[in-house]
Structure 1
């Protein structure tokens, strides 16, 4: 099954969240792979490499990288601009083809996006269009900081307008500067966005700690056991 990990902004913690979810699914006995279809601002798939480091997984072979990281661009910008500066154009259907091939090989594919929902991939298409093309459930990552209510609710609204199932919210406590703001903002997001399942994600250094991996496992069980028990079987 394919899942997309998106965020309310760039630098919000999607890479860590993707790795944490991978650990959670692994604890459920699933064969998991992560994918970063578009990497910008790098000479190699940095985020994918970080997934492997955080989860303790081995690096991808060159053959597998063609599927897990089909597009890598050097310029640190939105995918459309980064690709254009290298005289290239990103093909959403090619990404879909790579993701579906991974889906045939693994139980769970976690696709990490680039930036937020309206980041352009081509002149006409955005990250939201890629999610719509894949038509897969989404995990939304947001930051525990001032301003998060507006950013998160707008992202939730955009996903719901496209008929996309929001599996859960990953609330990144790394950004928390005030416990009251963090706590009350999350309550507002849950109430106004009608979000039931939330994973609190603390700051992580090195590999993902066992307690966070276990929290991710329970988070996934709480989401899927009532509605999609076959995913956990």
Structure 2
């Protein structure tokens, strides 16, 4: 099964959330892999390596790395611009093939996007278009801070308008400066966005604490048992 991890913005904690989800799926006994379809602002698979470190996974051998990190561009920008500056272009059909090949080898494939839903991958296509092509469930990462209600609900509505199933919300407490705003904002998001499953993600340092990993396991167990997901998975 392929899942996509997107966020309401760049720098929102998608990499940490992806690693946490990978750890949770592993504790459920799933054979799991993560993928970073397009890495920008680096000359090596920076985010993918962080997934491996945090989740306690082995580094990918070169033949697997071709699938888990298909494109890497040095300029820290949206994939379309970063690719264009190197006289290249991202092929989303190639990205789709890489994800599907990983799905043949693993029970769960977690794809981490770059930025938010409307970040351009090519001149014509955004990450939302890529998710629509895959038609896979999405985990949305949101920041516990002032303004998050608007940003999160806009992302939720954009996904729903495309008929994309939202598996759950990862609510990142790293940005929290006021407990009341963080708590009440989340309640508004759950109510107005009709979100059933939420995983609270505190600040993560060099590794994922065992208690947090167990919370991720419970969260994912509930996601997989939810009627909406079961109906989607049976199609």
TM bin, normalised by shorter chain, reads over 0.9
CA distance in 1, matches of 2:74, 2:133: 26
Q: Report the CA distance between 1:226 and its aligned residue.
A: 3.3
TM-score by length of 1: 0.97
SS at match of 2:11: coil
List alignment gaps of at least 5 residues for structure 2: none
Q: Counterpart in 1 of 2:200? A: 200
Q: Counterpart in 2 of 1:73? A: 73
CA distance in 2, matches of 1:196, 1:141: 14
Q: Counterpart in 2 of 1:3? A: 3
Q: Counterpart in 2 of 1:62? A: 62
CA distance in 2, matches of 1:55, 1:226: 25
SS at match of 2:226: helix
Q: Counterpart in 2 of 1:49? A: 49
SS at match of 1:9: coil
SS at match of 2:188: helix
List alignment gaps of at least 5 residues for structure 1: none
State the Cα deviation string for residues 131-162 of structure 1 (Å, max 9, x = none): 00111000000000000000000000000000
CA distance in 1, matches of 2:47, 2:141: 16
Q: Report the CA distance between 1:223 and its aligned residue.
A: 1.4
SS at match of 1:203: coil
Aligned positions, number: 231
Query: How do 1:32-181 and structure 2 match up within 5 A?
Result: 32-181=32-181
Pairing 1:16–2:27 present: no
Aligned-residue CA RMSD (Å): 1.1
CA distance in 2, matches of 1:218, 1:55: 16
Q: Counterpart in 2 of 1:222? A: 222
